Chains A and B, each alone.
Chain A
């Protein structure tokens, strides 16, 4: 049971972080399908820190360094979307799809090159192991394993809510997603706001990536990307109606479904039902599809999302 709660919380943290990222991008008017790729690159950055920073630096430094580097990696990678979608008015869906493919390919090439060079050609895998440093991320209270990243996720949630709804910046950002022409007419720089939205999504997406790959395992095979979690986060965002607090609740629900897949064998009655494990893997996607079917009729999507803003067509 504790294991189920533990996994639910950690997966919910991942989904919440990434979905909040998506929320910022879409609220500014840019669809970010590339979250999956951003997660991969963020995970790569974090994993490198965990691999190369010695465990002796202590938990606070380790957590901080991992968070900063993975967020930075995500942020830099999201520039690809920002430049294409905002400056060049490219199709955001194609750009995002390309970013997903690019991230997995680039991470695989990078990690393989690193492993190959380090082992003189003997190790050509795309794995990064961080067994010795992973423990620093955890805090054990009783039989319960807390992860520092959960705290980070909650802080990000609060920050996201405040930024979007209690600051001038948030109001302006949302205006650019609803009606950029109107926003521009009162002197808001739409391009700047959209840059901010996309870069924040990169930051949070990258952070989500490292949280995901350190959940439960201590070796990650980068060839596999992040197994669709970025896409699941998009569903969480839509289900959460582009609102941080609702996103948090949606993330908990989806995190729970996903956690069931990991730990169902620990429950006698679930095991007795003899459901193949792939069904648990499918569950979050099926639920999100059903939920979307019931909630999309009156969509709360930002009105101008996906439409490149052209100053000339005001």
Chain B
């Protein structure tokens, strides 16, 4: 029994899962402490409300909100895939937020101004994200500009550009873009009966399975193909990859194109469901891309792990709206997810800690065994 437990602990994936759980627990505990500081009397109730998220609603309503959480999980997962794909090739794609903006811009503009069907809008959104990713990749390979810095700059440029472009298709009475439902229903992604499972929630569409399929595709590409292997090799040692005859610059640009496309697609998967419209007056880059970073790291940088962590982060974020707004505020969930990413930075250390403990235990056991053997020889 004990032996089985130990060998389980030795597996990398188990260690990652354990580390992620510790991060989540840490985030929740600090979140709870913050609630306690604000107002001790209702704090426990509030943290439970956050953690119960949509589960606290009765029957039919529960399914409806469950559906909405899933709808928002899809783009979050795509942003996480974008971040982790680039990270595997040694680049920190903080530009996912901007690529997400670009995707939203292209998809919504194509839908509202040109009245194109949903699949074309989706592809255009993807292309816009890819273009932005390519720009970052080119800046990196041609001019040696760090992708983190160029990504940050492009995030803001894209945000303002998106506001400018989508400002031309906004509804006259509000800062939001016109609704797809009334302007161009053909741009709404088809539900294929999926909505029926969630109490006829209209926003539940094929976007959700599509995101999961993309996660699997990313996993296959990274782990099972020569292309993925080359990319990872470029990431771990640029010069060695070059020495082996890999086209290292092409690989970097391609990676950023793919990462950008994933984030751009994510935006399409959200905005083409009609669940929300773009607000053309926002003055900060949407958090989706940054949350993608949280999701990717919480998921142990694995596409499959990201599916779980994306759902979890979205679950908690939705739960934030449950707190008593007369006393607390919904940003408590952003605080919790920010804390979780901060703790994720310690994952490497945490795994190192487990490994050291295991090694020490091994050494002790070996020493004991040696002692027994020695004792035996003496006899």
User: Is there an interface contact between B160 and A278, defined as CB atoms closer than 8 Å?
Assistant: yes
User: Is there an interface contact between A109 and B326, defined as CB atoms closer than 8 Å?
Assistant: no
Confirm or deny: A97 has a beta carbon within 8 angstroms of a beta carbon on chain B: yes
> Which residues of chain A come closer than 8 Å to B160, judged between CB atoms?
278-279, 281-282
> Which residues of chain B come closer than 8 Å to A91, judged between CB atoms?
345, 348
> Which residues of chain B come closer than 8 Å to A108, judged between CB atoms?
329, 331, 334
> Which residues of chain A come closer than 8 Å to B337, judged between CB atoms?
101
> Which residues of chain B come closer than 8 Å to A281, judged between CB atoms?
156, 160
> Which residues of chain A come closer than 8 Å to B65, judged between CB atoms?
none
User: Is there an interface contact between B163 and A278, defined as CB atoms closer than 8 Å?
Assistant: yes
User: Is there an interface contact between B344 and A105, defined as CB atoms closer than 8 Å?
Assistant: no
Confirm or deny: A296 has a beta carbon within 8 angstroms of a beta carbon on chain B: yes
Given contacts A93-B92, A97-B341, A282-B160, contact A102 B335 (CB under 8 A): yes
> Which residues of chain B come closer than 8 Å to A89, judged between CB atoms?
348-349
User: Is there an interface contact between A293 and B139, defined as CB atoms closer than 8 Å?
Assistant: yes
Residue in contact with B345 in the complex, picked from A95, A238, A279, CB distance below 8 Å: A95
Confirm or deny: A227 has a beta carbon within 8 angstroms of a beta carbon on chain B: yes
Given contacts A94-B341, A105-B338, A112-B331, contact A224 B143 (CB under 8 A): no
Confirm or deny: A289 has a beta carbon within 8 angstroms of a beta carbon on chain B: yes
Q: Is chain A's interface secondary structure helix, strand, loop, or mixed overall?
A: helix
User: Is there an interface contact between B144 and A296, defined as CB atoms closer than 8 Å?
Assistant: yes
Residue in contact with A231 in the complex, picked from B39, B152, B283, B326, CB distance below 8 Å: B152
Q: Is chain B's interface secondary structure helix, strand, loop, or mixed overall?
A: helix
A262 to chain B, nearest CB (A): 14
B84 to chain A, nearest CB (A): 12
Given contacts A282-B161, A297-B144, contact A288 B34 (CB under 8 A): no
User: Is there an interface contact between A285 and B156, defined as CB atoms closer than 8 Å?
Assistant: yes
> Which residues of chain A come closer than 8 Å to B338, judged between CB atoms?
98, 101-102, 105-106
Confirm or deny: A181 has a beta carbon within 8 angstroms of a beta carbon on chain B: no
Interface residues of B in 267-312 (CB under 8 A from A): 283-285, 287, 290, 293-294, 297
> Which residues of chain A come closer than 8 Å to B153, judged between CB atoms?
231, 235, 285-286, 288-289, 292
Residue in contact with B334 in the complex, picked from A105, A279, A288, A289, CB distance below 8 Å: A105
B159 to chain A, nearest CB (A): 9
User: Is there an interface contact between B346 and A88, defined as CB atoms closer than 8 Å?
Assistant: yes
A300 to chain B, nearest CB (A): 12
Confirm or deny: B146 has a beta carbon within 8 angstroms of a beta carbon on chain A: yes
> Which residues of chain B come closer than 8 Å to A101, judged between CB atoms?
287, 290, 294, 334, 337-338, 341
Confirm or deny: B256 has a beta carbon within 8 angstroms of a beta carbon on chain A: no
Residue in contact with B149 in the complex, picked from A98, A105, A276, A292, CB distance below 8 Å: A292
> Which residues of chain A come closer than 8 Å to B152, judged between CB atoms?
228, 231, 234
- B163, closest chain A residue (CB): A278
B139 to chain A, nearest CB (A): 6
6 tightest A-B CB contacts, nearest first: A98-B342, A90-B345, A101-B338, A102-B338, A98-B341, A105-B334
> Which residues in A have some Cβ–Cβ distance to B below 8 Å?
33, 80, 84, 88-91, 93-95, 97-102, 104-106, 108-109, 112-113, 116-117, 121, 124, 223-225, 227-228, 231, 234-235, 238, 276, 278-279, 281-282, 285-286, 288-289, 292-294, 296-297, 299
13 contacts between A and B (CB under 8 A): A80-B342, A89-B349, A94-B293, A94-B341, A94-B345, A108-B331, A113-B38, A117-B39, A224-B284, A227-B284, A234-B152, A278-B160, A292-B143
> Which residues in B have some Cβ–Cβ distance to A below 8 Å?
34, 38-39, 92, 94, 139, 142-146, 148-150, 152-157, 160-161, 163-164, 283-285, 287, 290, 293-294, 297, 325-329, 331-332, 334-335, 337-339, 341-342, 344-346, 348-349
